């Protein structure tokens, strides 16, 4: 069995090759001076770490190394520690209340990995009684996709006719889950960002209806982000925060992108919990977010 850390490191290889390669290029050429620090900051920004986080990391790094000679591995280690410090506040465990059902609203733009993340999470929490609600009623394929995950996990999927009212479906699905005494209900939603006003309106309506069905719900509003969208992910956080009040993040597709540094930017700017990271399409390709592991993997350490 390959360890989580080595899978994470393998997934982040494109990101770490880019960042690690750029850092190596900078430091084999000359000693650390102001120009080198600038280049290092640029390398971080080029890896989607974001301006503010990069400035903070380099600021800390500059004061720590204070005229000492440092080797390349030591430099990477120091950077990894500074990155981990930014990520640490976002490392939180996704927890559920004993009082059932816990309602998890999964939101995000099309393709961000919502449906897949629901399938993976249902598997992670397979010791609990779970049902799914196919709230992405816009595309028939979306309902089918969720049903496949339902079959894989051997759990029920509550769905309606294609194009039916998503909020109404959620209300009925939650009543059913309450009757069934489910521990957790995951609600899949549509993410048509092309029509922002409609999306926002629909999500707000879903939240209202969810609260009507179960006053303490939703217990989690998880925003899925596709790491490959880079800095644009931050705009998505703001749009969805306004629409549905994001309580935590799942950052998907960290495998196969060179933009893994965006997680540092997201952590720095939003401080939202990052519960899980997606590192592949399979049922097991969802890892708990660990700040130290992520930082060392990002630097290829």
Ligand X SMILES: Nc1nc2c(ncn2[C@@H]2O[C@H](COP(=O)(O)OP(=O)(O)O)[C@@H](O)[C@H]2O)c(=O)[nH]1
Confirm if 51 and 262 have CB atoms less than 8 A apart: no
Q: Segment 273-292, which members bind ligand X (CB under 6 A)? A: 278-281, 285
The mark string for 104-123 relative to Mg ion (x by CB under 5 A, - otherwise) is ----------xx--------
**What's the gap between Cα 283 and its chain centre?**
16
CB of 256 to ligand X, least distance (A): 5
Task: Specify the stretch interacting with ligand X by CB under 6 A; choose among 39-47, 202-210, 248-256, 287-295.
Answer: 248-256
Cβ contacts of 144 within 8 Å, gap of 6 or more: none
Q: Does 191 bind ligand X (CB under 6 A)?
A: yes
Coil/strand/helix, residue 104: strand
The mark string for 129-158 relative to ligand X (x by CB under 6 A, - otherwise) is ----------------x-------------
20-29 contacts, C-beta under 8 A, 24 or more apart: 20/76, 20/299, 20/300, 22/46, 22/47, 23/72, 23/75, 23/76, 23/79, 23/299, 24/72, 27/72, 27/75, 28/72
Nearest residue (CB) to Mg ion, 42 versus 144: 144
Task: Specify the stretch interacting with ligand X by CB under 6 A; choose among 20-28, 73-81, 106-114, 196-204.
Answer: 106-114
Nearest residue (CB) to Mg ion, 87 versus 190: 190
CB of 142 to Mg ion, least distance (A): 5
Q: Does 250 bind Mg ion (CB under 5 A)?
A: no
- Both tokens of residue 276? 């899980």
Q: Where are the alpha helices (DSSP H) in 72-184?
A: 72-87, 114-124, 140-153, 166-180
Residues that bind ligand X (CB under 6 A): 108, 110-116, 145, 191, 224, 252-253, 255-256, 278-281, 285
């Amino acid at each position: 069995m390959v360890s989580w850390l080595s899978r994470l490191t393998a997934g982040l290889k494109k990101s770490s090759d880019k960042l690690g390669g750029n850092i190596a290029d900078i430091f084999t050429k000359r000693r650390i001076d102001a120009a080198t620090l600038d280049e290092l900051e640029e390398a971080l920004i080029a890896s989607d770490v974001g301006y503010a986080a990069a400035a903070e990391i380099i600021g800390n790094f500059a004061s720590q190394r204070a005229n000492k000679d440092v080797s390349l591995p030591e430099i990477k280690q120091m950077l990894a520690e500074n990155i981990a410090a930014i990520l640490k506040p976002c490392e939180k465990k996704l927890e559920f209340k004993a009082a059932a059902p816990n309602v998890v609203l999964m939101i995000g733009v099309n393709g961000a990995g919502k449906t897949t993340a629901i399938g993976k999470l249902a598997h992670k929490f397979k010791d609990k009684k779970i049902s799914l609600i196919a709230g992405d009623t816009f595309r028939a394929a979306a309902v089918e996709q969720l049903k496949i995950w339902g079959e894989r996990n051997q759990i029920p999927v509550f769905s309606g006719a294609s194009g039916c009212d998503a909020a109404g479906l959620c209300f009925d699905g939650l009543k059913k889950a309450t009757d069934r005494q489910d521990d957790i209900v995951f609600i899949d939603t549509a993410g048509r960002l092309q029509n922002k006003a409609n999306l926002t309106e629909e999500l707000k309506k879903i939240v209202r209806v969810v609260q009507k069905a179960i006053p303490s719900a939703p217990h989690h509003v998880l925003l899925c982000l596709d790491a490959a969208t880079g800095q644009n992910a931050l705009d998505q956080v703001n749009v969805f925060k306004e629409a549905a009040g994001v309580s935590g993040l799942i950052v998907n597709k960290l495998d196969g992108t060179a933009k893994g540094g965006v997680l540092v930017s997201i952590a720095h700017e939003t401080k939202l919990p990052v519960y899980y990271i997606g590192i592949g399409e399979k049922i097991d390709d969802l890892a708990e977010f660990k700040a130290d592991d992520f930082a060392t993997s990002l630097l290829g350490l």
